[in-house]
A and B are shown apart, each in its own frame.
Chain A
Amino acid sequence: MIRVEKLKKSFGTNEVLRDINISIQPQEVVVVIGPSGSGKSTFLRCINRLETITEGHIYIEDKDITDKKTDINKIRENVGMVFQQFNLFPHKTVIENIMISPLKVKKAKESEAKEKGMALLRKVGLEEKANVYPDSLSGGQKQRVAIARALAMEPKIMLFDEPTSALDPEMVGEVLEVMKQLAKEGMTMVVVTHEMGFAREVGDRVIFMDGGYIVEENIPAELFGNPQNERTKLFLGKVL
């Protein structure tokens, strides 16, 4: 589904990703953990080319997204993204937020887009908020709308960039619940997070990144229960 080969990314002289190689299978949930500045968010943002890639290749369903000839907009239709800061469109209501891309990008019919949007809102438990503006929502509600908005494009892959890091603690649960549901339905997911409980429970595989490398990867039980690398042990010792 996703294949990353020798990915490198620098900002000026600052090398953020040094050599990333990984392959992600359909329906797999990969959780990326690591200290801040380890490059995990940058890695995630490279997967839908929100960051320009300095070196290496990323294939999504065998299409090389680093190839200039690849239509990145087409790829992005299949790769949903959820941001730490939600990034809802403040000038549009909740349902408009969800409908805009199906309407403008996929040229969907208004009535169909609306019906699907409402179904997605039901799914994230916010049906009654369809006609309010994002301003009046709590953080947890905003993030659930953002997830629904991404799902409206019917993506095959969902990327989550620290989706709960900007939330008050009591709202983390409602967002993770939606993500769990999504994982259960078989969505391919790459999740950058500090929620170790989520990683352990929902992740098929956990990746520990540090200093621009993937230091260690394993099934959650092994990585948390029996870390091999010194840096992994040190990090887990601090956060668990």
Chain B
Amino acid sequence: MDFRFDIIVEYAPFFLKGTLLTIGLSLAGIAIGTILGLFIGLGKMLKNRWLSFPFECYITIFRGTPLMVQILLIHFAVVPFIIDDTNGIAAAIIALSLNAAAYIAEIFRAGILSIDKGQMEAARSLGMNHVQAMRYIILPQASKRMIPPLGNEFIILIKDSSLASLVAAPEIMYWGRAMNGQYFAVWEPYLTAAVIYLLLTLSLSYLLHRLERRLATE
């Protein structure tokens, strides 16, 4: 086997562009997924069964079906149905966000439930309403505990964004497959992609590790 660095060099600008898009897709997924996830997590915790049921369904559906199916459905069915056109990047962002939101909702819920119920009682007994107690007492404590599982979810999200190549969003894997198609090479494109993904996830886990340490000493 002879490893051709020249074709990697040739594709380097494309991989760079792909990496930027992968970062973009991931950041969008993280941001939208987190906001949506908090909302859905709180929704699932509503005491009224009828109100919490839709949120429960959401989590069940998006956790219970493959992300690949979700991306294809959204790209080829949902988006064209709404805007009468397709857009791989938009579809990927929507699918990644909706999927991550389901997992993040459960992370939020678990974080909030892990706080001793005496904390809520003490806050309420001091005259705070439910929202104040959540905001000043429960969420600050819960958010610290949510960081490790959230970090995990974000790393999964970066890797899962590779599925966006299926709907022709030109991210890392898309260029990998293009290179594979042009030169019938397998080691070069896929190893390059693997190394880039590894660099991305390593940087993220380094950042999260630092954040965790800073919060621990506070």
Chain A residues at the B interface, C-beta cutoff of 8 Å: 48, 50, 73-74, 76-77, 79-81, 83, 85, 87-91, 100-101, 104-106, 146, 149-150, 153
Q: Which residues of A contact B140 (CB under 8 A)?
A: 91
Q: Which residues of A contact B118 (CB under 8 A)?
A: 83, 85, 87
Is A101 touching B128 in the complex (CB atoms < 8 A)? yes
Residue B178 at the A interface, CB < 8 A? Answer: no
In Å, the complex CA distance between A231 and B141 comes to 45
In Å, the complex CA distance between A73 and B129 comes to 6
Q: Which residues of B contact A50 (CB under 8 A)?
A: 121, 124-125
Size of the B side of the interface (Cβ < 8 Å), in residues, is 18
Give 5 nearest A-B pairs by CB, closest first.
A87-B122, A77-B127, A101-B126, A87-B118, A81-B125
Residue B60 at the A interface, CB < 8 A? Answer: no
Is B119 touching A87 in the complex (CB atoms < 8 A)? yes
In Å, the complex CA distance between A97 and B151 comes to 30
For residue A153, give the distance in angstroms from its CB to the closest CB of chain B: 6
For residue A145, give the distance in angstroms from its CB to the closest CB of chain B: 12
In Å, the complex CA distance between A100 and B122 comes to 12
Are A105 and B124 also in contact (CB < 8 A) when A83-B118, A100-B136 are? no
Cβ 8 A contact of A153, one of B121, B127, B129, B132: B127
In Å, the complex CA distance between A48 and B126 comes to 10
Is B122 touching A83 in the complex (CB atoms < 8 A)? yes
Residue B79 at the A interface, CB < 8 A? Answer: no
Q: Return 12 A-B CB contacts under 8 Å, by A number.
A: A50-B125, A77-B126, A83-B122, A87-B116, A87-B118, A87-B121, A90-B141, A91-B144, A100-B137, A104-B128, A104-B132, A105-B128
For residue A151, give the distance in angstroms from its CB to the closest CB of chain B: 11
**Which residues, 121 to 153 on B, are CB-close (under 8 Å) to A?**
121-129, 132, 136-137, 140-141, 144
Q: Which residues of A contact B136 (CB under 8 A)?
A: 100, 104
Contact with A along B73-102 (1 / 0, CB 8 A): 000000000000000000000000000000
Chain B residues at the A interface, C-beta cutoff of 8 Å: 116, 118-119, 121-129, 132, 136-137, 140-141, 144
Q: Which residues of B contact A80 (CB under 8 A)?
A: 125-126
Q: Which residues of A contact B126 (CB under 8 A)?
A: 76-77, 80, 100-101, 105, 149-150, 153
For residue B104, give the distance in angstroms from its CB to the closest CB of chain A: 22
Is B127 touching A89 in the complex (CB atoms < 8 A)? no
For residue B60, give the distance in angstroms from its CB to the closest CB of chain A: 28
Task: Report which residue of A50, A83, A91 has the largest number of chain B beta carbons within 10 angstroms of its beta carbon.
Answer: A91
Are A89 and B128 also in contact (CB < 8 A) when A50-B121, A83-B121, A83-B122 are? no
In Å, the complex CA distance between A76 and B118 comes to 16
Is B128 touching A73 in the complex (CB atoms < 8 A)? yes
For residue A59, give the distance in angstroms from its CB to the closest CB of chain B: 19
Q: Which residues of B contact A79 (CB under 8 A)?
A: 125
Q: Which residues of B contact A91 (CB under 8 A)?
A: 140-141, 144
Q: Which residues of A contact B119 (CB under 8 A)?
A: 87, 89
In Å, the complex CA distance between A146 and B124 comes to 14
Is B125 touching A89 in the complex (CB atoms < 8 A)? no
Cβ 8 A contact of B127, one of A85, A87, A101: A101
Q: Given contacts A77-B127, A89-B119, could you give 9 more A-B pairs where the C-beta distance is less than 8 Å?
A: A76-B126, A80-B125, A81-B121, A88-B122, A89-B141, A100-B137, A105-B127, A150-B125, A153-B126
Q: Which residues of A contact B123 (CB under 8 A)?
A: 89
Q: Which residues of B contact A87 (CB under 8 A)?
A: 116, 118-119, 121-122
Q: Which residues of B contact A74 (CB under 8 A)?
A: 127
For residue A166, give the distance in angstroms from its CB to the closest CB of chain B: 11
For residue B146, give the distance in angstroms from its CB to the closest CB of chain A: 14
In Å, the complex CA distance between A51 and B80 comes to 52
Is B122 touching A89 in the complex (CB atoms < 8 A)? yes
For residue A47, give the distance in angstroms from its CB to the closest CB of chain B: 10
In Å, the complex CA distance between A167 and B127 comes to 26
Closest to A100 in B: B136
In Å, the complex CA distance between A150 and B123 comes to 10
In Å, the complex CA distance between A141 and B25 comes to 51
Q: Which residues of A contact B132 (CB under 8 A)?
A: 104-105
Q: Which residues of A contact B129 (CB under 8 A)?
A: 73
Task: Report which residue of B127, B136, B140 has the largest number of chain A beta carbons within 10 angstroms of its beta carbon.
Answer: B127
